[in-house]
């Protein structure tokens, strides 16, 4: 029995080729090859380029320009006294009592807001992670304070903590707590008279706005934890409290670190809440600067006193402080999470 001879056909002459797997592929023209390389290697960068362009224009350039201004004497009230100042603006910070007071206020409000805020958010997220009736309603409801305009919420809380007619003092008066100022006795306390009272009031405003947001971040991370882990822990006799700290927190550690860093950055840049806490918007932060933050002091120095060089130095000092504190908090949180995950 004879077989027909195999004839090799060169398809390249017809503008096509056969791949190593035997599939028929038409040969691409130079223009098609260029379009393919452009789509795979250039288009992805073009799609994300608007973000980086805007970040360079409104982020990197102002940061660098602000750094240059911080080394100059630039006071618009005395334009003739302009020139290179070197590190004089930075050395002045160490002897500036207003800057030291603003730092103390900023860290005080930051501690009273960030720590309770994240702990409460973790607790709320653990509750929302359970089977509840109207679960979606509760999950959406905790986000309402976050979507409320910060100016509106700050004005509401300014009246809540009003000395004479505030809701907070009305509640304290029900428990017999009274104060006296200028010979007048009133229920509750004067929230704007002392550092600690004003810190607590402003921290309450910050916590109310950000607890729900952080709770949803924690809840999203908790959704990735297998339910079998909790069931096995329950069989071993672990209480819900032990499950939270021995299982949940170590397994959502990356999200915890993210929220700690994010809260640190936001907490050390507080401006709107303390600015609107007084009876009128006041960069002084009270008659004795009881709640003036660094952000308020920068605004007052740069845009009220028009000392732009010194305000720029304050801004860079605050930026470096935030970087150091955020890095330390991230490291500390990661160490705590590792300790909790390895503990038996």
**Sign of the torsion formed by the C-alpha atoms of 172, 275, 209 and 116:** negative
Strand partners, 185: 180
Which residues lie below 8 Å from residue 178, measured CB to CB, with a gap of 6+? Answer: 185, 186, 187, 188
- pLDDT, residue 13, reads 46
Regions in the chain scoring below 70 on pLDDT: 1-26, 182, 336-344
Which position has the token pair 């309450």?
A: 204
CB 171 within 8 A of CB 189: no
Hey, what CATH class is 89-161+195-342 in? mainly alpha
CB 291 within 8 A of CB 274: yes
- pLDDT, residue 54, reads 93
Which residues lie below 8 Å from residue 229, measured CB to CB, with a gap of 6+? Answer: 247, 251
Give 3-state DSSP helix, strand, coil % of the chain, rounded to 5: 65, 5, 30
Task: For residue 200, give both structure tokens.
Answer: 């607590």
Task: For residue 48, give both structure tokens.
Answer: 């994300």
228-258 per-position pLDDT tens digit: 888 898 888 888 888 888 889 889 999 999 9
Q: How many CB atoms neighbour CB 136 within 10 A?
A: 8
DSSP assignment, residue 247?
I
Q: How far apart are CA 291 and CA 191, in angstroms?
A: 11
- pLDDT, residue 25, reads 59
- pLDDT, residue 70, reads 93
81-113 per-position pLDDT tens digit: 788 988 999 999 999 999 999 999 999 999 999
pTM equals 0.81
């Amino acid at each position: 029995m004879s077989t027909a001879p195999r004839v090799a056909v060169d398809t390249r002459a017809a503008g096509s080729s056969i791949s190593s797997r035997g599939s028929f592929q038409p040969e691409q023209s130079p223009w098609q090859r260029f379009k393919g390389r452009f789509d795979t290697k250039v288009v992805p960068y073009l799609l994300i380029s608007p973000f980086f362009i805007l970040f360079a224009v409104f982020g990197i350039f102002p940061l660098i320009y602000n750094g240059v201004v911080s080394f100059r004497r630039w006071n618009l009230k005395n334009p003739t006294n302009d020139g290179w100042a070197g590190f004089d603006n930075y050395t002045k910070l160490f002897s500036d009592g207003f800057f030291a007071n603003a730092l103390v206020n900023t860290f005080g409000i930051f501690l009273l807001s960030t720590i309770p805020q994240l702990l409460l958010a973790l607790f709320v997220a653990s509750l929302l992670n359970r089977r509840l009736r109207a679960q979606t309603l509760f999950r959406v409801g905790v986000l309402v304070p976050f979507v409320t305009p910060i100016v509106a919420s700050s004005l509401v809380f300014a009246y809540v903590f009003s000395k004479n007619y505030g809701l907070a003092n009305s509640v304290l008066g029900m428990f017999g707590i009274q104060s006296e100022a200028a010979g007048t006795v009133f229920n509750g306390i004067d929230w704007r008279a002392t550092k600690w009272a004003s810190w607590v009031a402003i921290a309450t405003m910050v916590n109310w706005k950000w607890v729900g947001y952080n709770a949803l971040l924690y809840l999203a991370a908790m959704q990735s934890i297998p339910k079998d882990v909790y069931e096995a822990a329950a069989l071993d006799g672990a209480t819900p409290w032990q499950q939270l700290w021995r299982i949940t927190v170590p397994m959502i550690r990356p999200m915890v670190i993210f929220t700690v860093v994010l809260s640190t950055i936001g907490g050390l840049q507080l401006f709107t809440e303390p600015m609107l806490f007084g009876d009128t918007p006041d960069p002084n932060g009270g008659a004795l600067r009881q709640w003036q933050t660094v952000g308020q002091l920068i605004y007052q120095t740069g845009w009220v006193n028009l000392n732009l060089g010194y305000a720029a130095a304050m801004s860079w000092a605050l930026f470096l402080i935030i970087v150091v504190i955020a890095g330390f908090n991230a490291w500390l949180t990661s160490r705590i999470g590792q300790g909790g995950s390895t503990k038996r």
